[in-house]
Chain A
């Protein structure tokens, strides 16, 4: 059988190297993508947690506001009651 020309052998060798490199890059890309997705998931959870935190804080502030309004009403009514009790 006729030996293939040297240029063909070199080309074949280069092709194998290119395939190996392509596979390596593919794996590296997939691993980085998975890492980025995981980081994204973590950030999403953090944002959602911070939104929940804002909600809780606002609910607390609303409750305080209501308590303050009730207290103001009580204070406003107090002198009238006191006056009535004296006379």
Chain B
């Protein structure tokens, strides 16, 4: 069995939707959502569309933790990340989503890019909500569910 599927089933997550670029699982009892990206690159419009669908679930209430598994990504798209970081997280905080767990690709350059972009975003947008969020980078899905 696929290890991710195994972890998902063991932790009682339900697949809510799936398309070419992403799979979204939820576990209302744990108040958690998982977004697992499936492709190397996601055009910004599709990225936003996936996150709007996730927003609809979060707005239903009862979710406080979001796990974003972006291990398949091979290209970093800064405008998508900016939108996700500044608008989406801000909007979702109002609906109780405060914990963010991220799983990055294993490549070190990607991690560095994320850090550079984050630094730039924070510098250019001092009114961001990062200090109100609990953000952690994790090495695996199990760790992200656990911490």
Binding site for B on A (CB under 8 A): 41-42, 45-46, 49-50, 52-53, 56-57, 60
Q: Does B130 make an interface contact (CB < 8 A)?
A: no
Q: Which of A45, A53, A56, A60 contacts B43 (CB 8 A)?
A: A45
Q: Which of A41, A49, A57, A60 contacts B77 (CB 8 A)?
A: A49
Distance of A11 Cα from B6 Cα, bound (Å): 61
Separation in Å of the B145 CB from the closest CB of chain A?
30
Please give, as numbers and ranges, the residues of chain B lying within 8 Å of A46 by CB-CB distance.
40-41, 75
Please give, as numbers and ranges, the residues of chain B lying within 8 Å of A49 by CB-CB distance.
41, 75-78
Interface range for B: 10 to 19
Q: Is the contact region of chain A dominated by helix, strand, or loop, or is it mixed?
A: helix
Q: Which of B41, B44, B78 contacts A52 (CB 8 A)?
A: B78
Q: Does B117 make an interface contact (CB < 8 A)?
A: yes
Please give, as numbers and ranges, the residues of chain A lying within 8 Å of B94 by CB-CB distance.
none
Separation in Å of the B44 CB from the closest CB of chain A?
8
Separation in Å of the A34 CB from the closest CB of chain B?
16
Q: Does B5 make an interface contact (CB < 8 A)?
A: no
Query: A41, A50, A53, A57 — which one has the most chain B CB atoms within 10 A of its CB?
Result: A53
Give chain B interface residues in 94-131, CB to chain A under 8 Å: 109, 113, 116-117, 120
Give chain B interface residues in 2-24, CB to chain A under 8 Å: none
A45-B44, A46-B41 given. 19 additional CB < 8 A pairs?
A: A42-B41, A45-B77, A46-B40, A46-B75, A49-B75, A49-B77, A49-B78, A50-B75, A52-B77, A52-B78, A53-B75, A53-B76, A53-B113, A56-B78, A56-B116, A56-B120, A57-B109, A57-B113, A60-B116
